[in-house]
A and B are shown apart, each in its own frame.
Chain A
Amino acid sequence: MASPVSSNNISTGRMIAAATILAVVGGGGTYLLLRPTLPEQVRGAFPALPDFKSEPTILQGKLQQAYTKTATSGSVADLAAYGRLLHANGFAAEASQAWQVLLSVDPTEPRWSYYLAHLRRDSGDMGETTLWLQQTVEINPNYRPAWLQLGDMALKSARFERARNYYGECLRLLPGAPYARIGLARIEQQEGKRDSAQKALLELVEDHPSFPSAHNLLAQMYRESGDQSRANLHRWEGYRAGRFITMEDPWMRELEIQCFTPAKLFIIGMMDFQANRGDRGQSAYEKAVQCAPKDPGNHELLGDLYRKLKEPQLARRSLSQSISLSDAAGVAPSLLAFIHLAAVERELGEFQTSREVAERGRIAHPRSPEILVELGLTLTALGENEAAGVAFRDAIELSPHDTAAQFHLGEWWLRKDQTDQAIPHFEKSLVLQPTFAPALRYLLQYTLGTGQLDSAQDYADTLLGAYYGDSEVRQLVAICYLRLGRRGLERNAVSEAITHFQIAYDLDSDDVDIAFELGTLQLAQGEFKAATPPLEVLIANRPTDASAHLFLAQAYLMDGRPRAARALLEKGLTLAEQAGNAGTAGNIREMLEAITR
């Protein structure tokens, strides 16, 4: 007989087992019965509509539609679309909420954490940005922009080894990726390994000659090491390559497509334009106007962009529209709309219309020197020179340091052959814009023409510093240094002369006069190796000049190249005899005899 105790124990054990089973079944059943479906999860937490009363109608409609759709369907796709709209149009808090909900219900999609990283980056929270980016690459280790940003952030927090690893991941995904390589070069630079940083950058610009950041960093390093010439070269190349741009980021582009906020579209468009992507810039601007077609400011900005893109007809249409819309709204059209439209009409040869626009602008903005300058230019085009002069003077009266007004009044004096009156205005035009090219060019030519070589050198240096790669500027500055060299020779300052001729030659090595002066002077100083390149230029440009053959032959001879020297002398002798140049022929014969001996 089983003891009561034992029987009781069995009974208790059964009860516990049954209760456990009931608990599990009950719990499971409750969970299955009451658990929210995915749409319910989304609907229960997705962000409310932001305050969009001041937004463009098109954006209001899209937000309302996306919200309603998400509220109805509760689908991930609809919430993602709503989130994109929120994010792209500047509703950061609501967008953040959307991405967090999506991250909870759809944790395998890396975009959600990437977009959260972007929102945190914008507010400068680099710590949280890093965390979201790390989550992004955990979900999708193949998204390069995320690795790059992780690298940049590690670099900027002086965690160089970590940055190296992140850039390494970027390079693994795209061997040779320029952004990762410049990051690595910066680490080397920051660690004081200048040589390897410089080598890496040189390889980078060779592979990616249009990558402005690499040129700029190289220019910086060359300048630090005192190599101003190479620094200038790379600075110029960086300038030509355009504005610094970030790596192409397809996920962010997906957001930009959903942008319907004109202010943001103009910024996106301007950055594209400055980065030499004018077509994308134009699209963004045109979209901005479509989003708020009744805003005169938007048409004005589009008109300005068309001007920059050399589309005067389109610019005219947009700028006219801007003024019309302002008129219709009963507000004064903007100053810039008048200025740009007056200039466009002038470019199109419609001088009378340009004048009417400028006159209207003058009435609407009577304190603006800029509109008076436009009026002056148009009056000049119409041949009304005296009236133009009055307009330029009035502009200067309003703003004595206005660069354009001073310059154009200077030109006005030049047209009247009053150079002495013109020069002070050109000089004043440089007060606020010291590198204003038209004034600098004129003043350089003027000072060269009047023999004021010291002043000319100042203008030349400024001009060259600002427009280093401009071939016309280089030629003009080279002429200045040629003249400075000749002045040095007149003063028997040979060393100074060689320095100036060398600068001129470096700027314009095809100029025969410069090559002659530098080559012959260096030859006379016994610098035969240095004399050789300019003398070779000389002979290439003057193939029938017997003296040139004689000079180069001397350089070759002193350089231990008698065969080459003899060949040149023999040719030179023939040329001298053909030209009846007995003196040169005699000199050449003497040298030939000396070689033979």
Chain B
Amino acid sequence: MPQRSLKPYLVLAAGAVVGVVAGIGIIRMNAVKVVPHSDQAETSPAREPLIKFSPEAIGTSVEEFGRPEVTHVQIVDLDQDGLPDVLYCESSTNTVRWVRQTSRNVFEESIVATDVAGPVHVAAADVYGNGRLDLLIASMGQVLPNSDSIGRVFVFEAMADGSFKRHLLLDRVARVTDVRAANLTDHSDGRLDLIVGQFGYDEGETRLLVNQGDWKFSSQALNGQSGCIHTPIGDFDGDGRLDIAALISQEWEEVHLFRNLGAGKFSDEILWGSTNEDFGSSGMKQVDLNQDGKLDLIFSNGDGFDYSIRGPRAWHGIQWLENIGEGKFDYHRIGEMPGAYAPSAADLDSDGDLDLIAVSGFGDWSNPDTVTLMAWINDGEENFEPEVIATQPIQMVTADAGDLDGDGIPEIVTGGYHSFPPFEHMSAITLWRRQ
């Protein structure tokens, strides 16, 4: 009996198997795929907080203010005694105040500017190179929405005797939200020019005031869009000249870069913009977040001043415009935070990289778990993990971080703005120390 070979059957069986496998493969290939989404809800088990901060009220108390309206805080060593102080604007009294650190952790407050209608930003700068820090104050006229030309720019000149002399540099202009100083036109005598952000309402501007000496300034509009909130200054394109960035809100919701072309000339470029007209841009700072030697921008969106229905929006949060060189930037969303304001960077966990913080001005205050102070902890690769610092006090629109007590660990300073109900869990100036 001839021996029959199994080979043909094996070949045929293999063919059938291949066919079945291929069929299943096609089915799998065609199966519905869902791309992982950054909004995907993530549930993580409860864990120990990465950092903790404890609050301490400094400066004028809530009771004295009634309803504090702190619009801006800044950590700065105003008297240059080696002890950082806190400067802040308070709009219910139209004052700018100095919480001076007289000795380590001992604070005394004094009013340094009065009758400044709607003060919303104070910066300290030596405008004439005389070794004293003058105060540059942005006066909105009225903090709540208003389209009228009621803005002013004040400089309170630091005098040798420690007093401040008032100069009104711009009057009856679209509401001013930012003034800061820098040598933008190549002065050689220590003079500084001023950059003025004018939010206005329907009309606004970003303006350069060139210092002509003796507190005289020539004025030049860099951009005529309304809604300018902040104008950080830095060499963003790495050409050795100081440029200006501007966060422009209202219906625009854009970040602009005004490149310094030299000889007092600036170009105007849009770096980034949202087509969500309700995006709610609320604050921007410059910082080299990834410490690569190039100055980045961090900005928040959480504004709710313009709505009768004030409160959080799903898209509120903070973001990072990473400077990739020559004035080009990549956008990164850092995280969500309803009502986010005042992004700041500091090494909160002392691991050598920069973390981020923001406060909330317009959260869902009927929910006691609403976060009012949030940190995003950097893993060293610019991946940020959110960390709740506090849920009270509520309604904060300004914050700064810096090492006030000289221990190498940054403190956080926040300000409460209480112009809308609920008038509870209020604060004026709060100093947050790491535990």
Contact = CB atoms under 8 A, between A and B. Distances in A.
A401 B18 CA distance: 85
A122 B142 contact: no
Interface string A1-38: 00000000001000110111111111111110011100
A16 B66 contact: no
Interface residues of A, number: 92
A430 to B, nearest CB: 9
Interface stretch (B23-31, B52-60, B231-239): B23-31
Interface in A51-89: 51
B218 interface: no
A255 interface: no
B142 A433 contact: yes
A443 to B, nearest CB: 15
Contacts of B225: 220
Q: What 8 pairs across the A-B complex have the smallest Cβ distances? A: A156-B273, A19-B15, A26-B19, A30-B23, A27-B19, A23-B19, A31-B23, A27-B23
A20 B203 contact: no
A527 to B, nearest CB: 30
A100 B39 CA distance: 13
B172 A235 contact: no
Contacts of A336: 421
A356 B66 CA distance: 26
Contacts of A16: 11
A90 B20 CA distance: 44
Contacts of B172: 461, 465
Given A19-B14, A28-B23, A156-B275, 8 more contacts: A23-B22, A100-B35, A152-B275, A158-B269, A263-B311, A267-B313, A271-B278, A399-B92
Nearest to B312: A263
B150 A462 contact: yes
Interface of B: 7-8, 11-12, 14-24, 26-27, 30-35, 37-41, 66-67, 91-94, 117-118, 141-142, 146-150, 172, 202-203, 221, 224-226, 250-251, 254, 268-270, 272-279, 301, 307-309, 311, 313-315, 317, 319, 331, 333, 336, 364, 366, 421, 423
A50 interface: yes
B26 A27 contact: yes
Nearest to B307: A270
A22 B16 contact: yes
Contact of A35 (B27, B278, B307): B27
A235 B203 contact: yes
Contacts of B366: 297
Interface stretch (A124-132, A345-353, A413-421, A587-595): A124-132
B22 A27 contact: yes
Nearest to B117: A434
A401 B93 contact: yes
Contacts of A297: 366
B17 to A, nearest CB: 8
A431 interface: yes
Nearest to A430: B117
A223 B172 CA distance: 14
A270 B309 contact: yes
Contact of B32 (A50, A104, A270, A304): A104
Contacts of A221: 224
Interface in A86-111: 90, 92-94, 96-97, 100-101, 104-105
A301 B26 CA distance: 56
B264 to A, nearest CB: 17
A193 interface: no
A29 B251 CA distance: 58
A469 to B, nearest CB: 12
